[in-house]
Amino acid sequence: MTLLKHDAAADGASERVAVVTGSSRGIGRAIACELARAGMDVCVNCASQASVSAAEETAAFLRDAYGVRAIALAANVADACEAKSLIDGAREALGRVDVLVNNAGITRDALVMRMGEDDFDAVIATNLKGAFNCCKAASSYMMKQRFGRMICMGSVVGLAGNAGQANYAASKAGLVGLAKSLAKELAGRNITVNVVAPGFIETDMTGALSESQQAAIRDRIAAKRYGTPEEVASLVGFLASDQAGYITGQVVGIDGGMAL
């Protein structure tokens, strides 16, 4: 785990501090922006030194645009020690850990008969075990505070499955069981745990598809369009807020009616 940036001269401290894994770009960055817009201090996370510049840029943007404290921490959440260092580092730098958004995720798609064991293990390790590692590390702080919001980024694929994504679907389905179990364990300490399950969202991954592939996907969606990272971030922002204190153990879809 590497500390990339800490603006110690920032004015004041937020009442809430959020850690968003995998937040140097895409949906994770949009979530970090939404939480900062709501006044939270934010720890931006990237997996390795390869993403350092993007994480630093995101943290700088949050400070400049929203006037919050923002730091960037590099940590591979699939590694339990690095995940703990991420949470500990955020608390040391920002004073608290109130909100954890488990957004870090990877894909290694292939049909099962062609899927390597390493590809299955890598996806499970990052997407599912990574969330477990971070939740475990954050739970001790949240329990002492008697407040916390844990939000796991699932997927419609985790609910319905998808050919060629057995590893990814299994990891996202596992998050549902993890969140529901944690919700029962932690509710008495005013800690909620929920899953957000996006459908097709405008990202680099969907942008790489051909126009015919994109048209076929949109035809399966009742709204006939992709969602935006900002729409997903808005939902996460609500679940992270005080107003969502009576919502826990839930899977909230945001898929434009794809699952209808």
From 66, 141, 168, 226, active-site residue: 168
| Phi-psi sector, 16: left (phi>0), alpha (psi -120 to 50), beta | beta
The single-letter DSSP state of residue 16 is: -
Give the integer Cα–Cα distance in Å for 54 and 200.
Answer: 24
Closest CA to 20 of 52, 58, 50: 58
H or E element in which residue 160 lies: helix 156-160
Instruction: Establish whether 66 is a catalytic residue.
Output: no
**Positive or negative torsion for Cα 54, 253, 152, 64:** positive
Residue 95, both tokens: 């004073």
Burial 88-100 (b: 16+ CB within 10 A, else e): bbbbebbebbbbb
For the annotated catalytic residues, the residue numbers are 168
